[in-house]
A and B are shown apart, each in its own frame.
Chain A
Amino acid sequence: MRFQFILSEIGIGLRRNLSMTISVILVTFVSLTFVGAGILTQTQIQKLKGEWYDKVEISVYLCPRDSSVPTCADGEATDAQIAEVKQILDSPEVSPEIRSVEFESKEQAWTSFEENFSDRWWFSEMTVDDMNASYRIKLTNPQQYEVINEVLTGRAGVEQVRDQREVYEPLFNVMNKATLVASGLAGVMLLAAILLITTTIRLSAMSRQRETGIMRLVGASNFFIQLPFMLEGAIAATIGAGFAVVALWFGVKYLVQGWLETSMDTIAVPYITTGDVLLIAPLLIGVAVILATISSIVTLSRYTKV
């Protein structure tokens, strides 16, 4: 009885303030879409960075089995060559520039490669022997890339010395700025959402003052009186969050997976997937519910006193 009664009260409330309900849904929808877009951009950055980016500045790729680079003419880097590179890195001239060195074998490289790209069409043509073993180097001073580049480039067994930041930094810069813009818009929209939810609940409470007055008079508990209003806000906000999740899901499905990945699928770059959207869905819905609950508690404490 109680449950059914509360449900019907909510139904009446939502219908009575239909236009307000719709605006709450739309505003939470837009704001949470921005929040989600910001989070997904950061997720994409993390994916691009891979597991090494934050830890190293320079990657020294050793020769794989088949490489067209002249220094790799003798085939895969031998243990002796690998040891020699390590020796140079440890030498008194170079080692002061280096904070840490880690060695990644081609098997280790294969494992992370498999994780990121096993769903691409060209994956079946790759084997563990196409992977580079590498030294991942963190510098004492990140600007000193040239020192390492000079001593190692052109050495037998070394395919390439790459300064990671040079490649990715501008891209990350753009993406971080996009995240900032999205967060800013999300913030403004969330504020609008809070104000709208507050107004909606207030309107709803005022339009039902007769009912709540009688409820108080006959001794309905505060919780019972307030619950329909709270749920009204929460339901509208959750529907908005649901729309945001759906929008992001389609966005990733058709823009990232459908367009980016097919038009640029030869580049070995891991993209975000619809799975990532589903991962952040509970977060978005949680934000909506918390938003609605806080604004209704603030509003109702003023409107439904005992």
Chain B
Amino acid sequence: MIRLDNVTKVYARGARPALDDVSLEIERGEFVFLVGASGSGKSTFLRLVLREEKATSGRVLVAGNDLTSLSNWKVPALRRQMGAVFQDFRLLPNKTVFENVAFALQVIGKPKHHIMTTVPDVLEMVGLAGKEKRRPHELSGGEQQRVAIARAVANRPSILLCDEPTGNLDPTTSLGIMRLLDRINRTGTTVVMATHDDEIVDQMRKRVIELSVGEMVRDQSRGVYGSTR
């Protein structure tokens, strides 16, 4: 599903690479934690997969596309196969919960009847049934993140990328979000989650990839947050 072949990413000429000769493969349906200190290259990894950045050298393959040679106009089609969730939720403050999720479908040209049936389903799946008309500021942090997840999976992507989705949430709420992500993963969606949250990683016992100053230092199935800590 996602494969990196000797990928190096250097942002500015002469600077230390953000990713240094990383090779890894993530299979369809896997759940992977991406751990490592700030600046270790987790976000760069996600940005490369989203094709927000291009690799300086090496090959990035996502869902059968070689991103190193993918032309710009094909990028939107690639991103329609992916969902992304962030620490800061990135919701639209003046749209309701329903509208926030519908927005993601509207802008890729989905027909109205499709949106009217899909959005309630997805909102129910993430546990927000009955809160369709609320605005983001009327929701708790956990609920806002659920809206963001609903938006990310509304188009049934095969990959869900999460950049510290629990970073702003308390442990109990985080646990709820993790259960939701796990549930999404069980439906066949590949989930890649960058995180600092050791408790969650230790609890979930999924594959753990650890990055340190741009290099992959650990790839462990059913791993824990850190052996070096």
Residues on A facing B (Cβ under 8 Å): 1-2, 5, 210-211, 213-222, 224-225, 306
Contacts and interface: CB of A to CB of B under 8 A. Distances in A.
Interface stretch (B78-86, B184-192, B217-225): B78-86
B90 A5 contact: no
A2 B90 CA distance: 23
Interface in B71-123: 72-73, 75-84, 90, 92, 103-104, 106-112, 115
A214 B108 contact: no
Contacts of B106: 1-2, 5
Contacts of A224: 107-109
B50 interface: yes
Contact of A222 (B73, B81, B103): B73
24 contacts: A1-B109, A1-B111, A1-B112, A2-B109, A210-B90, A210-B92, A213-B90, A214-B103, A216-B76, A217-B90, A218-B79, A218-B83, A218-B104, A218-B108, A218-B152, A218-B155, A219-B76, A219-B79, A219-B155, A220-B76, A220-B107, A220-B108, A221-B73, A306-B76
Interface string B28-50: 00000000000000000000001
Contacts of A217: 50, 79, 84, 90
A68 B99 CA distance: 86
A306 B92 contact: no
B151 interface: yes
Q: Which of B90, B107, B108, B152 has the largest number of chain A CB atoms within 10 A?
A: B107
A211 B82 CA distance: 18
A214 B75 contact: no
A213 B90 CA distance: 9
Given A5-B107, A215-B107, A219-B155, 8 more contacts: A5-B106, A214-B151, A218-B107, A219-B75, A219-B108, A224-B109, A306-B51, A306-B75
Contacts of B83: 218
B118 to A, nearest CB: 13
Interface residues of B, number: 29
B186 to A, nearest CB: 23
Contacts of A210: 90, 92
A277 to B, nearest CB: 41
Interface string B41-64: 000000000110000000000000
Interface of B: 50-51, 72-73, 75-84, 90, 92, 103-104, 106-112, 115, 151-152, 155
Contacts, number: 64
Nearest to A221: B76
A13 to B, nearest CB: 13
A226 to B, nearest CB: 12
Contacts of A221: 73, 76, 108
Nearest to B73: A222
Nearest to A215: B107
A221 B152 CA distance: 17
Nearest to B51: A306
Contact of A214 (B78, B92, B111, B115): B92
A222 to B, nearest CB: 7
B72 A306 contact: yes
Contact of A216 (B73, B79, B111, B151): B79
A218 B51 CA distance: 12
Q: Which of A217, A225, A306 has the largest number of chain B CB atoms within 10 A?
A: A217
A54 to B, nearest CB: 52
Contacts of A216: 76, 79
Contact of A219 (B72, B80, B103, B111): B80
Given A219-B76, A219-B78, A220-B76, A214 B104 contact: yes
A217 B73 CA distance: 14
Nearest to B152: A218
Contacts of B92: 210-211, 214
Contacts of A2: 106, 109
A213 B111 CA distance: 22
Nearest to A217: B84
B24 to A, nearest CB: 23
Nearest to A220: B107
A1 B90 contact: no
Contacts of B109: 1-2, 224
B73 A219 contact: no
Nearest to A225: B107
Contacts of B107: 5, 214-215, 218, 220, 224-225
B84 to A, nearest CB: 5
Nearest to A216: B79
Contacts of A211: 92, 103
